[in-house]
A and B are shown apart, each in its own frame.
Chain A
Amino acid sequence: MFIKTTDNMITKDEIIEIIFNSIDEINEQNRSSIPKEASTTLFGSQSELDSLGLVHLITSIEEKTEEATGKNITIADEKAMSLSYSPFKTVETLANYIKTLVDA
């Protein structure tokens, strides 16, 4: 599914949909079965993703979000890397973080 917003605005649900699309890609590539749920852990010891998988996932989500909003974003920015609780922890926290980036 390709999401294209008309006014550069995007809802959190649409961002979660983008993340799920990217998880589909990763699952297909790696023959993995990362669940498409808001609570899915993406980063840390509980994650099914290895470091390269996380790079693939974040890059794919960033690209899809840019296509949907027409706005340049860098998900792995200084703020993301300096927060005490990584925004990459789960699908939900990542969606929340991306929402702040596109709304900025």
Chain B
Amino acid sequence: MPDQTSHKPVMLITGTRKGIGNYLANYYLNKGFIVIGCSRGELDLKSENYIHYCLDVADENKVKNIFRDLKRDFGRLDVLINNAGIASMNHSMLTPLSTVKKIFDTNVTGTFLFSREAAKIMRKSTGGRIVNLTSVAVPLKLAGEAIYAASKAAVNNLTQILAAEFADFGITVNAIGATPLRTDLIKNVPEEKIAKLISKLSIKRLGEFEDVVNAVEFFIKPESNYITGQILYFGGV
């Protein structure tokens, strides 16, 4: 259990079991943050400054429990990173409704619930930061990504409207429009599809975890308190 009396910054990251979320959790733990993470499954991350919750990010009551504990244990939240996301690359005529609901639950409802509850804590101090993960799939409008792109388009809109609503509380809300990275999210996507996507970028390569960290660092630093409602796309999209 982290030292509750410390003045270390407190960051909550959703989807920390693997991929970007896992990388960010380790990165910010190494930087001296207290990191609260969550995922559907267990995560054995050995750090006294890390707390893990197993949950579905669209489960309102369980999400509220995280924030109740956060309030009790630390009394504040400095940064929320809405990273948890799922994808299903398929032709829309072959996409079952259950997949549509699952994608929207995780990508949109989860982002909304965590942002709403985070703002309730962050409103008590100034300088709260919310960073959402969106995708270049929105502007590229790629065939085969209808539902994933639609869910991330919703995240973009959510980002910009929450930015307006939370500005009164000194909270900024921004989003990172990542290109594909070597994560589980694209493990089932054929190489030629990835190559086709990369060909549409100005800088023709996959994204790296360091690219995401760089953007997060920019959005959360104190000097970025005038930057809100922005969608930062990678690779020159």
Residue positions of A touching B, CB distance < 8 A: 52, 56, 59, 62-63, 66, 72, 74
By the criterion CB–CB under 8 Å, are B61 and A72 in contact?
yes
Q: Nearest residue in B to A52 (C-beta to C-beta)? A: B168
| A72 interface neighbour in B65, B123, B168, Cβ under 8 Å | B65
By the criterion CB–CB under 8 Å, are A63 and B120 in contact?
yes
By the criterion CB–CB under 8 Å, are B120 and A72 in contact?
no
Q: Nearest residue in A to B120 (C-beta to C-beta)? A: A59
B210 within 8 A of A: no
By the criterion CB–CB under 8 Å, are B123 and A56 in contact?
yes
Complex: how many Å from CA A59 to CA B168? Answer: 14
Most B-side CB within 10 Å, residue of A52, A56, A62, A72: A72
B8 within 8 A of A: no
Complex: how many Å from CA A60 to CA B168? Answer: 15
Given A52-B168, A66-B68, also A74-B123 (CB < 8 A): no
Contact residues in B for A74 (Cβ distance below 8 Å): 60, 64
Interface CB pairs A-B, < 8 A, 12: A52-B168, A56-B123, A59-B120, A59-B123, A62-B120, A63-B71, A63-B120, A66-B68, A72-B61, A72-B64, A72-B68, A74-B60
Smallest beta-carbon distance B21→chain A, Å = 24
Smallest beta-carbon distance B18→chain A, Å = 29
Contact residues in A for B71 (Cβ distance below 8 Å): 63
Q: Assuming A52-B168, A63-B120, what are 8 further A-B pairs, CB within 8 angstroms? A: A59-B120, A59-B123, A63-B71, A66-B68, A72-B65, A72-B68, A74-B60, A74-B64
Contact residues in B for A52 (Cβ distance below 8 Å): 168
Contact residues in B for A59 (Cβ distance below 8 Å): 120, 123
Complex: how many Å from CA A57 to CA B201? Answer: 47
Q: Nearest residue in B to A73 (C-beta to C-beta)? A: B64
Contact residues in B for A56 (Cβ distance below 8 Å): 123
Chain B window 40-80, contacts with chain A (Cβ cutoff 8 Å), 1 for yes, 0 for no? 00000000000000000000110011001001000000000
Complex: how many Å from CA A52 to CA B60? Answer: 23
Most A-side CB within 10 Å, residue of B60, B61, B64: B64
Contact residues in A for B64 (Cβ distance below 8 Å): 72, 74
